[in-house]
Homo-oligomer: A and B are copies of this chain.
């Protein structure tokens, strides 16, 4: 007989999900109401307005897709691309590769611009690819690569897209609310994110937003979107304004309560203050990590404050350390992916998890575990170094 599941209480400092604010967990458990209830419709309008704030946009076509971030990625590609289209796709980590998969499954052609994992997207290479492919319909890139902790220059990439008459398509899964994302200011045409990173909400929803130019492309498609579930021409019957809300699918009511609460919290703190908090705690972590004798993978100017790639000595066994952190300290940090597997940790300081408390916990616990495994690491010195940056 299987009984109720009671999860351990972890501190989540991996690449996501990140720690969820207790206010959001409480909102999640409020009584379920109907997905066409007038009270729910009113809440949906607020979610839309709050997402517009988070994305810094006036885009009418702004809504949360009822599925995880990967489905958000699929939503933007499946709605914007038609068979035979050409998309220029930048890849400097795992998620650029996933974009390629999506492009090809839409029957379109992906022209890849590849950069080494751990480095930012090279603007010159992108411009060359756009020049060489004058028929390209869109330029797609990852703003904050979750697999490598790298920030690319989204503003400049969007300018390039516009210069070569392409739509710009941005993965902001890890960037939204952690660093600046300015949809209208940068002229982003299509963007998707996830709820489980810097929004500190539970995983399962994918906020998306489309410029009027992109919405026009969707409305003017010659072929039907291959996915019924993700077809925005249908979804908008439910999420659009100025229409009678038409049933499309049953919205994930309670998850939307949680997203609403997470966005209310973001609005209370303010976007700029939220980015500043991420930057401050990142600086403290950097000082502490370096005091432990470890190093960062990514150049200072391209480092994400919310996702830190830390290189460890070859003498250290990755899984042993992560298991010790989980078992002795209930602390989750992430492993490396692809070429970086077994060589780096990914330490997240995302949303609610971006706190001084977590920086100290991580440095103390990691320092203790490294010492126990023979490394000459001083956790106390690491905490002192971190504290010094916070004064």
Query: Does A171 belong to the interface (CB within 8 Å)?
Result: no
Separation of A308 and B8 alpha carbons in the complex (Å) = 42
Q: A18-58: contact bitstring with B at CB < 8 Å (1 yes, 0 no)?
A: 01100101111111111101111001001001100000000
- Could you tell me if B30 and A228 are in contact, using CB atoms closer than 8 angstroms? no
- Could you tell me if A227 and B228 are in contact, using CB atoms closer than 8 angstroms? no
Query: Does A189 belong to the interface (CB within 8 Å)?
Result: no
Query: Does A250 belong to the interface (CB within 8 Å)?
Result: yes
Residues of B within 8 A of A31 (CB): 7-10, 20, 25
The stretch that binds B, out of A118-126, A255-263, A369-377, is: A255-263
For the complex formed, measure the closest distance between the CB of A257 and the CB atoms of chain B, giving whole angstroms.
6
Give the size range of A's interface with the partner. 35 or more
Number of copies: 2
Contact of A67 among B7, B66, B224 (CB under 8 A): B66
Contact of A27 among B5, B38, B101, B255 (CB under 8 A): B5
Query: Does A340 belong to the interface (CB within 8 Å)?
Result: no
For the complex formed, measure the closest distance between the CB of A276 and the CB atoms of chain B, giving whole angstroms.
20
- Could you tell me if B46 and A32 are in contact, using CB atoms closer than 8 angstroms? no
Query: Does A332 belong to the interface (CB within 8 Å)?
Result: yes
Residues of B within 8 A of A7 (CB): 30-33, 37, 39-40, 43, 257
Residues of B within 8 A of A28 (CB): 28-29, 254
Q: Of residues A33, A40, A104, A326, which shows the largest number of chain B Cβ atoms within 10 Å of its Cβ? A: A33
Interface of A is mostly: loop
Query: Does A202 belong to the interface (CB within 8 Å)?
Result: yes
- Could you tell me if B267 and A1 are in contact, using CB atoms closer than 8 angstroms? yes
- Could you tell me if B2 and A17 are in contact, using CB atoms closer than 8 angstroms? no
Query: Does A292 belong to the interface (CB within 8 Å)?
Result: no
Query: Does A74 belong to the interface (CB within 8 Å)?
Result: yes
User: Which of A's residues lie within 8 Å of B, judged by CB?
Assistant: 1-10, 12, 14, 16-17, 19-20, 23, 25-35, 37-40, 43, 46, 49-50, 66-71, 73-74, 78, 98, 101-102, 104-106, 194, 196, 202-204, 224-229, 248-255, 257, 260-261, 263-264, 267, 326, 332
Sort A-B residue pairs by CB-CB distance and give the 5 closest, nearest first.
A204-B252, A29-B29, A67-B67, A70-B249, A202-B254
